[in-house]
Amino acid sequence: MLKLELRPQESQVWRYASPLLALAITVALGIGLFMLLGKDPLRGLQMFFWEPLKSVYALGELMVKATPLLVIALGLAVCYRSNVWNIGAEGQFVIGAVAAGGVALLADKETGRWMVVAVVLAGVAGGMFWASITAWLRDKFHANEILVSLMLVYVADMVLGYLVYGPWKDPAGYNFPQTKSFEAVTQIPRLMSGSRVSVGLILALIGVAAVWVFLFRTRAGFAQQVGGLAPAAARYAGFSSRRALWTALLVSGGAAGLAGALEVAGPLGQLTPYVPAGYGFAAIIVAYVGRLHPVGMVFSAVLMSMFYIGGELAQSRMGLPKSITGVFQGLLLFSLLACDTLVAYRLRWQSRRV
Amino acid sequence: MESYALLVAATLNAGTVLAIAALGLLINERAGVVNLGAEGMMLCAAIAGFATVVHTGSDGLGFLAGMGAGALLAAVFGFLVIYLSTNQYATGLALSLFGVGFSAFVGIGYVQEKLPQRPSFEIPFLADIPLLGSAFFKQHPLVYGVMAFVLGLMWFFYKTRTGLVLRSVGESPESAHALGYSVRRIRFYAVVAGGALCGLSGAYISIAYTPLWVEGMVAGKGWIALALTTFATWRPARILLGAYLFGGVTMLQFHLQGLGVQVPSQWLTALPYIATIVVLALISRNPAWIRINMPASLGKPFHPGS
């Protein structure tokens, strides 16, 4: 029978091959799912892997969705590398969007272009504030950060709901739960005409470089990760675990808040109850599939963005529910975790001993 | 007065949802496995149960389908974390994310469906007592079932050999292994049992508690159930009490609205989540107290012979 045997050393090959194998398994399961539903699997694959790439405009849309995923995942990677389990990035994203939206609503016809900077900074601050609740409860009360950060996602949704159904509702909005559309000066500048790609993409790529330098080239980044890998060693070396906790949550909260600001002052242009689009949860998968490595996450963010766009196309052109995106995202993470076994173990065929 | 009786009844009902799931999670946590996939299992079970009742008209089959769905997903989770030693947090999270997406995907055709006339239950004679009757004796059988189950689980954990073995696997898998017990098989059974109960809870939501199907209708109850095991310091009876406490908080919002309290509905809806956070913080305040009560190997994989 097949037996798992511990490798003397982790396999570097499988560290990078595992996400590819996981993607292959997900695609295979996807083909099976399409056939089960009586849809043409080739056409299905085309929606996910060809349509998002086939024109400059489509590529732009791919980047529009990849940007928030990448920004959030960069923060989460710092978190997970320090063994801090923030799974409430969705809530930090929403509060970031709310804070950014609140500032954007202050703008009027006379406001200068500097306003967009204030909007973005407000988003970062909002996300940091929301994550700091988790950090504080963990630090002071030892409350489990997984459950607290997740519960705060629901609370954040309620805060958003309260504002757009209540005090921030557009009086001229025919009673729809939404704020008035933000002034043009709050709009995140676009990179070119004819595409919705914005400065946010540049910020995300700067973030990739910044996180890379922090993690692999600074003492603070090293101390941050030792706490996650070997808490005892970190204590011995005098690295503060409280400091690592706060850094992890403030960085990831700030990143998620930034993504919220870019989204609400970018493609959305107003606050509605539909601001939470699941990016905060999808970014967890992006972080894992990208091996918690800044460069790897660029690829996985693009892949996850393809899943989103493919899902929308599958809905409009093939009559499949959009939630197929969530199914594939879940399958991808499942397969990845299973394939990662091959990093630490090898499969051996062993005849059953009697 | 009658409205208070109804509040008590609704509290017991809401608490039952949480208690069933939390007791299931308690079984696998006692064996040393934490399953963050509760929310996903409950959602899949909710749609499985709902769809089964729509097609067969039988509530019993619906509950069975829910338990089956929960057990099946838990088996996949269990295989990964127990036999492939994957990270329990990440795998549970994957299960939750998958469950949210998959239930929405399969459930799309059932959003407008209605279940056949819901049966009403009452215990003869007792239900006719004023106030007490409507507070306690007109409930779904599972409301009483979970009370009996808690007693059964206490007996199982603390009075039977199998229960002792299960707990020892969670406390010290090495010793259990040395005594000749198959740690991994016992953990796997515990995980599947936990999944079946989460499934029962999910099916109860869509069949009896709020008989309809809406995307994401479990609304965090799986996560609250996870918090309950910590809140109860891994004791069955305390889980039941905690579940009723949280059920009460959930129901309070409707009661306050009924009384005409002028608070925006969103704040009231957020109440159970805020309550969970506050209670979790208070109970975790003393880390030594948690460490004493927590199954010692919780979250750690076990690889025999390593």
B125 CA to chain A: closest CA distance, Å? 42
pLDDT for residue A354 is more than 70: no
- Cα first-last separation, chain B: 63
Select from A194, A206, A179 the least CA-distant residue to A268.
A179
| DSSP-assigned letter for residue A190 | B
Longest dimension (CA), chain A: 86
Q: Which domains does chain B have, with CATH numbers?
A: 2-115+124-293 (1.10.3470)
Tell me, what's the pLDDT at A353?
57
Helices (H), chain A: 12-36, 41-49, 56-81, 89-106, 115-141, 145-165, 199-217, 219-229, 231-237, 241-263, 279-289, 294-318, 324-339, 341-344
Average pLDDT of the segment spanning A318-338: 91
CA distances from B205 to A93, B46, B119 (A): 29, 7, 15
pLDDT for residue A142 is more than 90: yes
Residue recorded with tokens 């459950």: A147
Angle, in degrees to the nearest 10, between helices A56-81 and A199-217: 30
Q: Which residue of A has its CA nearest to B227?
A: A147
Candidate from A85, A152, A324 with C-beta closest to B105: A324
pLDDT for residue A1 is more than 70: no
Select from A313, A282, A300, A331 the least CA-distant residue to A50.
A313
Average pLDDT of the segment spanning A249-270: 96
* CB-side neighbour CA atoms (13 Å) of B51: 16
Q: Which of residues 257-276 of B touch A (CB under 8 A)?
A: 264, 266-267, 269-270, 273-274, 276
Select from A282, A264, A280, A275 the least CA-distant residue to A332.
A282
Candidate from A4, A141, A334 with C-beta closest to B98: A334
- Least reliable range by pLDDT among A174-178, A198-202, B21-25, B42-46: A174-178
Average pLDDT of the segment spanning A155-159: 96
A139 CA to chain B: closest CA distance, Å? 10
CA distances from A114 to A96, A124, A302, B148 (A): 19, 16, 30, 65
pLDDT for residue A175 is more than 90: no
pLDDT < 70 positions in chain B: 305-306
B91 CA to chain A: closest CA distance, Å? 7
With residue B44 as reference, give the H or E element that holds it. Answer: helix B38-56
Tell me, what's the pLDDT at B104?
93
Q: Which residue of A has its CA nearest to B95?
A: A330
**pLDDT (tens digit, 9 = 90+) per residue, A46-56?**
999 999 999 99
Q: Which residue(s) pair with A198 in the sheet?
A: A190
Tell me, what's the pLDDT at A10?
86
**Calpha distance A96→B105 (Å, rounded):** 29
| DSSP-assigned letter for residue A347 | E
Cα A124-A125-A127 angle, rounded to 5 deg: 65
B57 CA to chain A: closest CA distance, Å? 25
**Calpha distance A241→A223 (Å, rounded):** 9
**In this structure, are residues A262 and A282 in contact, taking their beta carbons and an 8 Å threshold?**
no
Angle, in degrees to the nearest 10, between helices A12-36 and A41-49: 130
Q: Which residue of B has its CA nearest to A142?
A: B284
What confidence category does residue A352 fall into, taking pLDDT thresholds of 50, 70 and 90? Answer: low
**pLDDT (tens digit, 9 = 90+) per residue, A68-117?**
999 999 999 999 999 999 999 999 999 999 999 999 999 988 888 899 99
Tell me, what's the pLDDT at B305?
67
Instruction: Indicate yes or no: CB of A137 within 8 angstroms of CB of B277.
Output: yes
**CA B115 to centroid of chain Cα atoms:** 23
Tell me, what's the pLDDT at B292?
86
Cα A70-A71-A74 angle, rounded to 5 deg: 80
Count other C-beta atoms under 10 Å from residue A177's C-beta: 18
**pLDDT (tens digit, 9 = 90+) per residue, A37-82?**
888 999 999 999 999 999 999 999 999 999 999 999 999 999 999 9
Residue type, A301: A
Q: Which of residues 141-170 of A touch B (CB under 8 A)?
A: 141-144, 146-148, 150-152, 154-155, 158-159, 161-162, 165-166
What average pLDDT does chain A have?
92
Under 8 Å CB-to-CB from A58, ≥6 apart: which residues? A51, A52, A309
pTM equals 0.93
